[in-house]
Amino acid sequence: MTKAGRALVAISDCQNRESLVQALAACGVEPIFCSTPAEARAILESEELDVLFCDTAFVGGSFEDLPHATDSGRLSTRVIVCSPLYDPAVYLDVMNRGAFDFITFPYRTHEVKWILGTALRRCPEPTSKPQTNRGRATSFQPHSPELTPPSNPI
């Protein structure tokens, strides 16, 4: 289903982590676990992973302390913030601070699959020089008609 096959998971609560692991397994994605931002950085420096699921806050910092891109210039890592409860204020806060997406417990397979697909479609291709979006409105390409917004003739 995904081009990655593996995702970094930094969720401290056992019940929340297990729910996400089950949803990832149903999507064919193997979780790699870490518990601190330093551990996440070390893993991302040695492994090419496009997606990172993490708590809003955990031992050693918050999701903002996690690397959104590695220092070696590899692919950007999409950070998906996981929360035990839906709170619109928390959602807006984490999205405004740079999270790629936000998901709440319990983690349903169809939601995880959708977020993974969106994150992986939006990951830049590896290149030797920085990419720009000049001449393109977006890199997102809908894959089915129901995802295509209706055209507005006005």
Structural domain spans, the chain: 6-124
Q: Hey, what long-range contacts does 33-40 have (CB within 8 A, 24 or more apart)?
A: 33/8, 33/9, 34/8, 34/9, 34/10, 35/10, 35/59, 35/60, 36/10, 36/60, 36/61, 37/61, 37/65, 37/66, 37/67, 39/10, 40/8, 40/10, 40/66, 40/67
Calculate the CA 60 to chain-centre distance: 20
List the chain residues with pLDDT less than 70. Answer: 1-4, 66-75, 122-154
Write down the pLDDT at residue 111: 93
| Contacts (Cβ under 8 Å, ≥6 apart) of 82 | 11, 16, 20, 53, 54, 55, 56, 102, 103, 104, 105, 107
Write down the pLDDT at residue 123: 57
Fold for the domain defined by 6-124: Rossmann fold (3.40.50)
Write down the pLDDT at residue 141: 37
Write down the pLDDT at residue 9: 92
Separation between Cα atoms, residue 41 and residue 12, nearest integer Å: 17
Write down the pLDDT at residue 69: 43
Write down the pLDDT at residue 77: 80
- Of 102, 57, 58, 56, the closest CA to residue 78 belongs to 102
Write down the pLDDT at residue 154: 52
Separation between Cα atoms, residue 35 and residue 97, nearest integer Å: 21
Write down the pLDDT at residue 151: 52
Q: Which residues pair with 79 in a beta bridge?
A: 52
